[in-house]
Chains A and B, each alone.
Chain A
Amino acid sequence: MEKKKILEIKNLHTYFYTDDAVIKSVDGVDIELEEGSTLGLVGESGSGKSVTALSVMSLLMGTTGKVAEGEILLNGDDILNISEEEKRALRGGRISMIFQEPMTSLNPVMTIGDQLLECIKQHEDISKGEAYAKAQKMLELTGVPRVEKMMKEYPFQLSGGQRQRVMIAMALICEPVVLIADEPTTALDVTIQAQILDLMNTLKGKIGTSILFITHDLGVVAEVCDYVAVMYCGRIVEKGDVYSIFGNTSHPYTKGLLASIPKLGQQVDRLTVIPGNVPNPRYMPEGCKFAPRCTEAFERCFKEEPGFYTIGEGHVSRCWLHAEKAGEV
């Protein structure tokens, strides 16, 4: 029973062209987002997850980044090889995005109401009065108190959690089919975090949006995601549904990530860490990019980059260890 793929990213390569080098931030990424689900895109800083999101949204202007290769399909339609105008029409309308820093993501000299209105008017042809009412309704849905007052307030008068709710309202107000959330709770207190995650889930159901949830926090992934894709050095290293990923963790990197989370009640002398550092994007190793830090690496790992090997239903891992199991040599 195959559910529809609302967003498909195929073989995406996004490179940054600087004076002395080409930095391959995203180097061959394939992601499928099933309609109505939440996919968690997990990785450390520098893994390329944010750049993937920006590529989908075509928000790379102002940087030296460009999509060098690949396909991005929204509900089957190509959204990469279209005009700038068409891309702009999609942003905020059919796909929207919320960001990590609620404190600085709102225009400090415009009222909340005006910023919401702006979004509506850009995508819908309704009167100002109707738009205002719609904005207010959306804000109410996000659970902020005293909505009428807040519409007239400025961002500096709101707390971090409130600002993030406003961002969510702004992103969902035009009922997009896909919402990309780039670490939306990382900058917030843990208690607020829970509320925001809860809110996103509720609204997702109400509006029927599918969510691409970017995070480095596996705890959050376990809570809200249906599917998981793990990224390292601009590539996906493991993909699958959330139960398989946590229950049958296969790739050494994913295993390392899980192992480094301290567990309540457990007493250890030292915390488990993944040895070494993320490689400098200018000096990428040959072969498997994780090999230099992998406790289970062997000779082949340093020479050739592995492909994807199936672990289970919809669960793949990019590791030579699993090639044998999958029947390959």
Chain B
Amino acid sequence: MGTQENMLQPGTPGIAIIQEEIKSPTKVMLRKFLKQKNSVIALAFICFLVIISFIGPAVVPFGVNQYDYSAILQGPSSTHWFGTDEFGRDLFSRIVLGTPISLAVGISAVTIGAVTGTVLGLLSGYYRGWLDSVVMRICDTLFAFPGIILAIAIVAILGSGLYNVVIAVAVFSTPTFARIVRSRTMAIKESVFVQAAINLGASDSRILFKHILPGAIPDIIVQYTMSIGTSILTASSLSFLGMGAQPPTPEWGLLLSNGRQYMTTSAIMTIFPGLAIFFTVLSFNTLGDGLRDALDPKLTE
């Protein structure tokens, strides 16, 4: 209260100036995010998975395709933490080595979709006209199919395999991003400061990149995180159906479909890969929720 006493003399009506810390938006967002313990844990787990993806091969006890006919269909033991499959391969190692696959597929597919969708959204939301109609029609058509059906259709044309799964998931993620970015673009374009910039003669690209895109980034980030969860689920579903990863790739969905035949004898084979998928997707979804709450200007407490 020292500043106040100095500034106020008896009898002088004045404004009591209180120095309030002006917090930058990034700092505010970071503070809000860090308060959500679930999301922080999720982020930590994801980082852990990323690290595992890189050091996995060096760290796992067994090889990805290490047959051992003397130890088939075993339950968990001290040598084989998650047991073995029908060829005696160590399930734990295979699951760990499957991590980079799921992460890579999920992240790359969504990145492609996000970039494509954002570009389309920006252009159609900003320029409107025939471009907008065409883009929206395409999106509507893509939205007319349940995601997995579209993915199956694309994989049917391109053939099975993980690269095609990435393309398929990228295709069906694109319209979501396009729509979000488009509506945000239209909203920001109508705002006073953009109208002012236009009137001052700012070029389109300047407005798009300096004003509109930054405004859309929070929505994009949140959607991005949530979409990774969906894409990992879709990719593993496709592998499960035999349209994605092919043996002997240790993709988690494929491991699950493998385990199906041995459900009665060796249930372990279906439980652990499923848990891997579940926790990974859960982390991305929780992270996405945390980001959305942190970026929402309306949520203060």
Contact = CB atoms under 8 A, between A and B. Distances in A.
Contact of A275 (B8, B13, B301): B13
A267 interface: no
Given A64-B301, A285-B4, A286-B1, A276 B11 contact: no
A81 interface: no
Contact of A277 (B1, B8, B10, B15): B15
A276 B4 contact: no
- Looking at B4, B16, B18, B20, the one whose CB has the most chain A CB atoms below 10 A away is B16
A277 B13 CA distance: 11
Given A286-B1, A292-B8, A302-B8, A276 B18 contact: no
B301 A298 contact: no
A19 B301 contact: yes
A298 B1 CA distance: 19
Interface string B219-237: 0000000000000000000
Interface in A281-329: 283, 285-286, 292-299, 301-302
A280 B10 contact: no
B15 A276 contact: yes
A299 B4 CA distance: 14
Contact of B13 (A285, A294, A302): A294
Q: What DSSP secondary structure best describes chain A's contact surface?
A: loop
Nearest to B18: A283
Interface residues of B, number: 12
B301 A280 contact: no
A208 interface: no
A285 B13 CA distance: 14
Contacts of B1: 286
B14 interface: yes
A276 B16 contact: yes
Contacts of A294: 13
Contact of B10 (A64, A286, A302): A302
A18 interface: yes
Contact of A292 (B14, B20, B301): B14
A276 B10 contact: no
A18 B13 CA distance: 31
Contacts of B8: 292, 302
Given A285-B4, A295-B11, A298-B11, 10 more contacts: A275-B14, A276-B14, A276-B16, A280-B20, A283-B16, A286-B1, A292-B16, A293-B13, A297-B13, A298-B10
16 contacts: A18-B301, A19-B301, A64-B301, A275-B15, A276-B15, A280-B20, A283-B16, A283-B18, A285-B16, A294-B13, A296-B11, A298-B10, A298-B11, A299-B10, A301-B10, A302-B8
